Amino acid sequence: MNDLYVSHDYIAMNLRKAQNVDERRKMIESMSNILLSHIGEVLVDDVKQIHCENLVGAVSLPLGVAGPLKLKGQHHERDVLIPLATTEGALVASVSRGCKIISLAGGAVAQTEYIGPTRGPVFETKGIRESQAFIAFIRKHQDQLASCAEQTSSHLKLKEIETRRNGKYVYTRLIFDTDEAMGMNMVTIASDAVVSFLERHTEASCIAVAGNYDVDKKPAWLNFIKGRGRSCQAEVIIPQQLLKEHLKVSSRDLFKTVIAKCWGGSMMAGAMGYNAHFANIVAAFYAATGQDIAHVVEGSLGITSADVCENGDLYFSVYLPDIMLGTVGGGTKLKTQSEARSITGARNTEELAEVLTGAVLAGELSLLASITERTLGKAHKKLGR
């Protein structure tokens, strides 16, 4: 057992001593008796700009482009291309097919609402009455708490503090505006400042700066109901003739699939995503554009809806209440991700979120049509192997 610990410490110490990424990679090669030549070749960024410890190189993901998609955003109408980094065959083709039918139908209407990232410190008091008094203190001093938070960054605002209590535990949900950044690092630093103020001026003690009332990188009804990051919606009305000609399905049959699968099947399973495959598109888009991929779990939340209009046309929409993304900070500055993001033509985070929402709409429409037509297996047999 001691030898194992010595070996572990020896490896960790030597990795830290390595002067650069090449030296560290060669050390791993020597220790493991393997060759990592491709991992070394893929790295194109200045290592000083990369936030990754014990860096040895990079991995590549195939990047495809779906579209064009006619998108009617909140401020202007445009045709967009959608970069998707994925190893799943048929995904880019499916989204492209959805883009084509949506564009032929006149385009997708997309709308986003900024909620903001959240952080949720949890505090301990002496009991129920002390918890109530602590919450009253927070409400009375929100301006001072906002000032503490905003001193940590000129790009951040503390919008609101929500509270819940359970006995001697008080759960807070700090809601921020982080401008064009996704902002979780910013809000954690700002939340630390808020916690310090509260501990100095009350008898409550913070147990965790992230107490899971955020709720960050986990599926939660709180985020579904109240939203987090950005709440996004997109819709399209597709003439029934276009559906039959290009997707080989009727409005009523596709509507029945949405009811039975996205709604009924999800309810029977106790699922929190009432959709076909939001996560597929969100993950591929996040990987391509430099987002924190772990937030795909939040992007999987949401509802796909459909209805048959009086004239037989199909109304189709998606609702994503919890989209965490940005255009500055984190992985967005990596060279390949920055280039991929430029493919969208998005000028800011709002427009980037609109592109993602339109892509999800297209992906949902195409997959559900394939399921309705019973060609899902055939498509994956052709493209997915």
How far apart are alpha carbons 15 and 18 in whole angstroms? 5
Q: Are 361 and 67 in contact (CB under 8 A)?
A: no
Closest CA to 101 of 66, 139, 53, 148: 66
Query: Is 214 tagged catalytic?
Result: no
CA 150 to centroid of chain Cα atoms:
25
As beta bridge partners, residue 63 has 85
Closest CA to 215 of 136, 345, 321, 135: 321
Query: Is 45 tagged catalytic?
Result: no
How far apart are alpha carbons 159 and 203 in whole angstroms? 25
Q: Considering the candidates 141, 155, 246, 380, report the single residue annotated as catalytic.
A: 380
Q: Considering the candidates 214, 235, 292, 350, report the single residue annotated as catalytic.
A: 292
**What is the residue whose two structure tokens read 């998108």?**
71
Burial, 186: exposed, middle or buried (Cβ in 10 Å; 0-12, 13-18, 19+)? buried
Query: Is 373 tagged catalytic?
Result: no
As beta bridge partners, residue 307 has 315
How far apart are alpha carbons 26 and 279 in whole angstroms? 36
As beta bridge partners, residue 160 has 175
Q: Are 372 and 254 in contact (CB under 8 A)?
A: yes
How far apart are alpha carbons 335 and 162 in whole angstroms? 38
Q: Considering the candidates 88, 162, 192, 307, report the single residue annotated as catalytic.
A: 88
DSSP-assigned letters across all residues of 105-141: TT-EEEEEEEEE-EE--EEE-SSHHHHHHHHHHHHHT
How many Cα atoms within 13 Å fall on the side-chain side of residue 171? 12
Q: Which residues are catalytic?
A: 88, 292, 380
